[in-house]
Structure 1
Amino acid sequence: MIGYVANRLAMYITSHNNRPDVPITHIKLTIHLFLNYFLVFLTLLMFGLFFGRAPELLLSFFSFVLIRTFSGSSWHFKNDLQCYLFSSFVLILFPLINFPINQTFIFIFSILLILVFSPSSARNKNLSPKKKYGFKLLSVLISVIIYFAFDSSAVTNILLLQSISLVPFTKKENRDA
């Protein structure tokens, strides 16, 4: 559904745009990401207001989006509904979990994962080493600023979630010998 709406909007914008140098695929991707994040935002807002946890859920959401913008992700779903449901579920659940581990340890572990695996995304494969280093540095810098600025277990948990999403877990192929 999101893909369909993004495609239709991209086609409309392209047909009324005087800039043919901007590919329709870039416009479609931008609209698609915006719509997906917007739906997740609305879901978090509704849950947050209902359960009285809106500030921490919204802080976690914006922290997640900001860090993910520069660090990328290795996890992608086959359709928009799966992406929306999973994103909403973990972004509601993770900030509310009370891990029995020191928050500083979680933060350091998250930063190490970001240092090793970011930037991680199919679109980042064509980046020069200098740009990849820049994205990695921005990811770490943003994570450190957010961690110390808000001193919140919800934010630390979101850092953990995003850093784990950088790890490229792959399915092993079953090969008959």
Structure 2
Amino acid sequence: MIESISRSISRKIKQSDPEGNVSVEVMEYAIGVKLNLFLTILLTSLLGLMTNELYNSLLALTSFAILRRFSGGLHMKSLTMCAVASSLLFIMIAHIHINNMAIIILTAINTVIFLLFSPNTIEEVNPSKLDPYLKLISTLIVLSSLILMSSTVTLAFVAQGILILPFHKGGEH
């Protein structure tokens, strides 16, 4: 769904400006990423409202997204499936409550995962001045769970930790 919408929009943009220097493929990708983010936020918000967990649902989404920005991780092949699966994940996380000892144990395990495997860049991206510090940044973000002591934040970080594990083809660490 997202792919076909972004393809249609990018083709219409190219038709209106055929001399433009951006290819249809590049526009399609950029539009798809934006639509994916919009759909993920929309679905998470709607499901969060329906289940009376809007705050924790959006907290899970935000925590996951911030950590993912610095740690990389596995991607789904379909942007639409990514939005749906991510939204369902954030809703589930919002409804799970763990005690402080579980937060400490999960954070310790997750810290080791991030020290070993972060960043896990699945795709080639533009190099950044932050690249040498991504492991440190993502590990410090994970350790912030010990200050926040939030089930939602900790579980969102654990979910992201699973996605940086090298269980898939093409990943590197």
TM-score by length of 1: 0.76
Question: 1:137 is matched with which residue?
Answer: 136
Do the aligned partners of 2:107 and 2:154 also contact (CA within 8 Å) in 1?
yes
Question: 2:82 is matched with which residue?
Answer: 83
Q: Closer, same or farther in 2 for the Cα pair 1:31/1:164, shift >3 Å?
A: same
Do the aligned partners of 2:48 and 2:57 also contact (CA within 8 Å) in 1?
yes
Question: 2:168 is matched with which residue?
Answer: 170
Do the aligned partners of 2:32 and 2:79 also contact (CA within 8 Å) in 1?
no
Summarize the alignment of residues 29-108 of structure 1 with structure 2, pairs less than 5 Å apart.
29-74=29-74, 76-99=75-98, 102-108=102-108
Do the aligned partners of 1:63 and 1:155 also contact (CA within 8 Å) in 2?
yes
Corresponding residue pairs, total: 167
Task: Measure the CA separation in 1 of the matches of 2:10 and 2:58.
Answer: 28
3-state SS of 2:123 partner: helix
Task: Measure the CA separation in 1 of the matches of 2:19 and 2:134.
Answer: 31
Do the aligned partners of 2:59 and 2:153 also contact (CA within 8 Å) in 1?
yes
- Tell me the percent identity: 29
Unpaired runs of 5+ in structure 2? none
Q: Closer, same or farther in 2 for the Cα pair 1:131/1:36, shift >3 Å?
A: same
Deviation for aligned residue 1:46: 1.3
Q: Closer, same or farther in 2 for the Cα pair 1:111/1:24, shift >3 Å?
A: farther
3-state SS of 2:116 partner: helix
Q: Closer, same or farther in 2 for the Cα pair 1:123/1:131, shift >3 Å?
A: farther
Write the deviation string for residues 27-68 of structure 1: whole angstroms up to 9, x where unpaired: 433322221122121111112112211111111111111111
| More deviation, 52-61/10-19 | 10-19
CA RMSD of aligned residues (A): 3.0
1:6 matched to 2:10? The reply is no
Unpaired runs of 5+ in structure 1? 172-177
Write the deviation string for residues 116-151 of structure 1: whole angstroms up to 9, x where unpaired: 1122232248859x8543222222233334x25643
| More deviation, 8-17/110-119 | 8-17
Question: 1:118 is matched with which residue?
Answer: 118
TM-score by length of 2: 0.77
3-state SS of 1:139 partner: helix
Task: Measure the CA separation in 2 of the matches of 1:134 and 1:152.
Answer: 25
Do the aligned partners of 1:94 and 1:161 also contact (CA within 8 Å) in 2?
no
Do the aligned partners of 2:114 and 2:135 also contact (CA within 8 Å) in 1?
yes
Deviation for aligned residue 1:155: 0.6
